[in-house]
Structure 1
């Protein structure tokens, strides 16, 4: 079995990982957050976000690993490298999303989680606001990369 034989499976895994990551951000931003703000007091809301992010972010690490492996293998095995401009755009946006997530996890989420555990609600609330904006940026980049990936070959 060659890499060429694996291309359909790699492409499917790539699409699934991207869909789950972007879909998770969409759910967190447009459904979970507004519902939590409307229904829960700040201490419970912050615990909810801490638990939800802990579970989701562990999956995002897996999604990133799958996306990098399948993205680079597909880029070279399927397309022969950066044979089209849209591939370079997807590559750059995808790497930027990964860097933003690493920043989000280490610089914002881990301190947020420690603040929640310590009962430092003002610090946790300040960090959750930064997390929200960072997730929004990555969500918007996710929408852009999806558009580029689907429309790129036709433009």
Structure 2
């Protein structure tokens, strides 16, 4: 097993964690230098007019596509696996998953922002521990599509600190 595939193993796609899963998948695909298969398309068909380079590309594309599909399918729950196992290529699977889970709902985004806004430092809570919670809330909001500029982040953090 590829060392980076352990990263994906810790993040099995279940629908609620699409963005984290996709980020980890990209790390693994980049490590194996096969991310290109998600954007390059397969040659239409092998014909007698193809050059040896075209034939080599066709073979390489199929090999890399199968590897990418294996990574994608191996690290999703069994229900999603059954839905996607028959799809022809890795790019189609990724597109379908994005359509299913990649768009965040407005309520999810608002919930994440409100969790950040409602965060208050408890009396005698170490600043380090509190800032770790802040970072976690900001990451969650960002993963759900919230865009909070740096000035607003600083203002919200300062208001959440104990006097």
Bigger Rg over Cα:
2
Name the structure with the higher helix share. 1
Q: TM-score range by the shorter chain?
A: 0.3 to 0.5
Q: Which has the higher contact order (CA 8 A, sep 6+)?
A: 1
TM-score normalised over the length of structure 1 = 0.36
TM-score normalised over the length of structure 2 = 0.34
